[in-house]
């Protein structure tokens, strides 16, 4: 099938770009002697997880327990749930582990650590746990040099039924960087903080085999991964306009796009209407903070070719308004009559992909596969 | 089941508030002698559509053809697809109509009108069509006094297989209003523009039985609906913090909320972490433009009671960061230990609900029903 025969809006995945993105990160991990534990929060697809773990140990990262259940059902047995656990979710974790899979959980909280220990003792369940370390993102995690780190570690280390596996950090503040040097510096802070935390645990007699770091920008630009055991990037599989804007990829590496149809012309306002709006593109505006704001997405031709720069400048639920970027000249109305297909490169692939239940995998102008993805909790 | 036994994040729907919201809009339509054709783009649920059409003719409005198919499968036979049609979607419309349902489409474009006529002629299909009129929103639609209106009408009126049913407008710019008087003025402009367009068609000999207007704020605040045949509000069923901020409802009318769990404390930053982030809440920031920005949502207690004002100030995919609103005093950390449930009232119910596949309908502290909803295209 030609992808222009798809109902719109539809989510396209360029197979060549996906494969190139996967290969690049695989090679990066290999070059540094670390495992790649890809974060499946972006793709949420078993087909893509299989491709992303080729030549790797096979462990993956997830952002919800629904993802964990889905990937276990598709044969993945080593899963890190990289969002702080709530004690009330531990029974579901235990149930997921009943057929032999391991779902490693994390916390940055003394009370939660006590709660995990208590739940293991009360139910006889076993839990693998990582301590989340804050290496500058200031979202979650304890400071690597804090007493809280050692307090949590002591609770987990002495509890029956708990395997304290190590430490995990996510340098989400790499998203605030605006140069490659900045990204490399954040990557080094991420590495150094995680390694410091691990060394403190080891000095206290804990084995700490896992030293887990990762965000796509830091994984791409890290120059040294000494002491790290694994990296956990996710969005690198698809990339997006925001990743390109901070130098984590180029626009030519963006593998996902939304196929849309022109539904109307408003030349009096220099605007074209498309059938992809706030739900089809997401309301993510991450490029707004950077030097090149692309609105709700960067518009390209149906075959992936560039157009004079067009942006989705406004959205409502199912409407997108396309206009020329500032300074980009006139809108090519004659080239885009109603019924024409265009593609939109998203600001943030994780948010955009979440509106769809499948990927239409394209090679040239053909849909060569349809891969389901999951959503929700 | 107690709703606190639900896995989080979860979407709660307060049955009493829903019923009150539905009754209020029903009464408004009755008082003005117009039909209520509820827009199901917000709720996307057959259960809610049934409640919303009690005492009404039974027609509904949808924003996607997937919604149209779903509601037809659930017994709704009179559907308006209120997003400009693409000619490439007409075969799907025709297929949806094969068992007797009617899916009325709309356009604001001369070329599309010709395309609909050509498709009807080529396939023998019948299409009911409305002309979209712009009464000030400047998203889609032709001006009520324009020659384009009459040009489109002439094409549709003389085409075989097409029933030109009338005109439709959506005063989406009511969302920019900041006072009740402003809203009433926009409502009157919406009414007057639609009626003018209809009268021009009638003067040219076309029957034009449908004069369709509607947005929740204008439906709530319209003082005169003379000449209007139907209203199409949607978000009134649930309401949200944004609707409250512009005076279309009060916070006590917001019927949907996201149940979340506290997963961490960061007292050094005055922050609490919850397991509802950008996907669970959406990245809609509509309150940012108004006088009372609530970040990504307004946090209340698990039972719906107010807390000292807390907001979701930052989100990443599955993390929400909760902090006190400016001037609201200290964060009540002791009252919200890890594991505690909170609820988040959304900025924009249509966007937030789209992340979920069901509503947990609550009455008091009990889940009394679970209603599925659909998403996607």
Of the residues A211, A238, A265, the one at which a domain ends: A238
B159 and B266 belong to one structural domain: no
Sign of CA dihedral A72, A74, A77, A83: negative
A229 and A361 belong to one structural domain: no
- Average pLDDT (B265-290) is 95
Residue A302 binned pLDDT confidence (cut-offs 50, 70, 90): confident
Of the residues A192, A218, A238, the one at which a domain ends: A238
pLDDT tens digits for range B296-342: 999 999 888 878 889 999 999 999 999 998 888 888 888 999 999 99
A264 and B84 within 8 Å at the Cβ level: the answer is: yes
Q: Is the pLDDT of residue B237 over 90?
A: yes
CATH number at residue B301: 2.40.37.20
Structure tokens at A326: 């500032």
Sign of CA dihedral B31, B35, B41, B43: positive
Is A244 part of any domain?
A: no
Q: How many domains would you assign to chain A? A: 2
Is A243 part of any domain?
A: no
Task: Tell me what the pLDDT averaged over chain A comes to.
Answer: 96
- Residue B262, C-beta contacts closer than 8 angstroms, at least 6 positions apart: A86, B272, B273, B274, B336, B337, B338, B339, B340, B341, B342
A197 and A288 belong to one structural domain: no
- Average pLDDT (B238-256) is 96
Distance from chain centroid for Cα A68: 15
Q: Is the pLDDT of residue B213 over 90?
A: yes
Beta carbons of A53 and A81 less than 8 angstroms apart: no
- Residue A28, C-beta contacts closer than 8 angstroms, at least 6 positions apart: A219, A220, A222, A231
Q: Which of A166, A165, A7, A155 is nearest to B88 (CA)?
A: A7
Residue A4 binned pLDDT confidence (cut-offs 50, 70, 90): confident
A109 and B354 within 8 Å at the Cβ level: the answer is: no
**Residue A80 bridge partners (DSSP):** A61, A104
**Residue B10 bridge partners (DSSP):** B259
Question: Model's pTM, two decimal places?
Answer: 0.97
Residue B277 binned pLDDT confidence (cut-offs 50, 70, 90): very high
Instruction: Using a pLDDT cut of 90, give the percent of chain A over it.
Output: 92
Q: Which long-range contacts (CB under 8 A, 24 or more apart) does A89-93 make?
A: A89/A65, A89/B7, A89/B261, A90/A115, A90/A116, A90/A119, A90/A125, A90/A127, A91/A119, A91/A123, A91/A125, A92/A65, A92/B7, A93/A65, A93/A68, A93/A125, A93/A127
- Average pLDDT (A128-135) is 98
Q: Is the pLDDT of residue B85 over 90?
A: yes
- B351 contact residues in A (CB cutoff 8 A): 278-279, 283, 317
Beta carbons of B138 and B113 less than 8 angstroms apart: no
A200 and A281 belong to one structural domain: no
Q: Is the pLDDT of residue A98 over 90?
A: yes
Is B377 part of any domain?
A: no
A256 and A360 belong to one structural domain: yes
Beta carbons of A139 and A172 less than 8 angstroms apart: yes
Residue B365 binned pLDDT confidence (cut-offs 50, 70, 90): confident
Among A99-113, A289-303, B40-54, B98-112, whose mean pLDDT is lowest? A289-303
Structure tokens at A230: 């694994």
Predicted pLDDT of residue A333: 87
Q: Is the pLDDT of residue A364 over 90?
A: no
Q: Which of A95, A322, A338 would best serve as a mutation to test chain B binding (most B beta carbons within 10 A)?
A: A338
CATH number at residue A230: 3.20.20.10
Beta carbons of B156 and B129 less than 8 angstroms apart: yes
A158 and A293 belong to one structural domain: no
* SS3 of residue B293 by DSSP: coil
A184 and A286 belong to one structural domain: no
- A350 contact residues in B (CB cutoff 8 A): 317
- Residue A360, C-beta contacts closer than 8 angstroms, at least 6 positions apart: A3, A6, A10, A11, A12, A13, A259, A367, A370
Q: How many CB atoms lie within 10 A of CB B105?
A: 25
Q: Which of A197, A180, A188, A219 is nearest to A25 (CA)?
A: A219
Of the residues B188, B216, B237, the one at which a domain ends: B237
A158 and A277 belong to one structural domain: no
A318 and B273 within 8 Å at the Cβ level: the answer is: no
A273 and B140 within 8 Å at the Cβ level: the answer is: yes
Predicted pLDDT of residue A292: 87
Is B134 part of any domain?
A: yes
Q: Which of B63, B111, B350 sits opposite A338 (nearest CB)?
A: B111
B151 and B129 belong to one structural domain: yes
Q: Which of B86, B282, B321 sits opposite A339 (nearest CB)?
A: B86
Is B299 part of any domain?
A: yes
Predicted pLDDT of residue B30: 98
Residue A303 binned pLDDT confidence (cut-offs 50, 70, 90): confident
- Distance from the Cα of B334 to chain A's closest Cα (Å) equals 12
A27 and A160 belong to one structural domain: yes
Residue A322 binned pLDDT confidence (cut-offs 50, 70, 90): very high
Angle at A5 between CA A3 and CA A6, to 5 degrees: 70
Q: Is the pLDDT of residue A107 over 90?
A: yes
Instruction: Using a pLDDT cut of 70, give the percent of chain A over it.
Output: 100
A231 and A261 belong to one structural domain: no
A317 and B351 within 8 Å at the Cβ level: the answer is: yes
Is A154 part of any domain?
A: yes
Is A347 part of any domain?
A: yes
Is A223 part of any domain?
A: yes
String of DSSP letters for B114-169: HHHHHHHHHH---EEEEEEE-SS--SS-B-TT-HHHHHHHHHHHHSTTEEEEEEEE
- Residue A287, C-beta contacts closer than 8 angstroms, at least 6 positions apart: A241, A242, A245, A293, A294, A295, A347
B108 and B227 belong to one structural domain: yes
A317 and B269 within 8 Å at the Cβ level: the answer is: no
Q: Which domain holds residue B156?
A: 15-237
Predicted pLDDT of residue B330: 83
- Distance from the Cα of A317 to chain B's closest Cα (Å) equals 8
Residue A29 binned pLDDT confidence (cut-offs 50, 70, 90): very high
Instruction: Using a pLDDT cut of 70, give the percent of chain B over it.
Output: 100
């Amino acid at each position: 099938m030609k992808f222009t025969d798809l109902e719109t809006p539809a989510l396209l995945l360029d197979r060549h770009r996906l494969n190139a993105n996967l290969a690049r990160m695989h090679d990066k991990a290999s070059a540094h002697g670390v495992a790649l534990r890809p974060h499946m929060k972006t793709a949420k697809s078993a087909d893509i997880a299989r491709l992303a773990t080729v030549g790797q140990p096979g462990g993956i990262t997830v952002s919800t327990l629904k993802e964990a259940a889905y990937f276990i059902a598709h044969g993945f047995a080593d899963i890190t749930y990289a969002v702080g656990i709530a004690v009330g979710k531990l029974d579901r974790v235990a149930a997921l582990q009943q057929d032999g899979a391991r779902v490693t959980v994390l916390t940055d909280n003394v009370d939660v650590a006590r709660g995990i220990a208590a739940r293991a003792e009360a139910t006889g369940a076993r839990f693998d746990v990582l301590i989340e370390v804050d290496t500058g993102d200031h979202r979650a995690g304890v400071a690597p040099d804090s007493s809280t780190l050692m307090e949590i570690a002591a609770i987990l280390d002495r509890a029956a039924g708990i395997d304290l596996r190590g430490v995990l950090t996510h340098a989400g503040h790499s998203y605030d960087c605006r140069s490659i040097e900045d990204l490399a510096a954040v990557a080094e802070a991420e590495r150094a903080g995680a390694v410091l935390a691990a060394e403190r645990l080891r000095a206290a007699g804990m084995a700490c085999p896992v030293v887990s770091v990762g965000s796509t920008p830091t994984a791409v630009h890290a120059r040294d991964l000494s002491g790290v055991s694994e990296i956990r990037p996710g969005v690198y599989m698809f990339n997006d306009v925001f990743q390109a804007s901070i130098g984590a990829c180029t626009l030519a590496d963006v593998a996902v796009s939304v196929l849309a149809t022109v539904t109307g012309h408003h030349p009096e306002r220099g605007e074209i209407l498309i059938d992809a709006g706030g739900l089809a593109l997401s309301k993510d505006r991450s490029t707004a903070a950077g030097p090149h704001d692309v609105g709700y997405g960067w518009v390209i031709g149906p075959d992936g070719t560039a157009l004079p720069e067009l942006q989705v400048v406004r959205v409502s639920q199912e409407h997108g308004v396309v206009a020329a970027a500032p300074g980009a000249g006139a809108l090519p109305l004659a080239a885009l009559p109603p019924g024409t297909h265009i593609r939109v490169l998203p600001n943030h692939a994780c948010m955009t992909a979440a509106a769809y239940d499948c990927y239409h995998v394209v090679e040239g102008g053909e849909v060569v596969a349809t891969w389901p993805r999951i959503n929700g909790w």
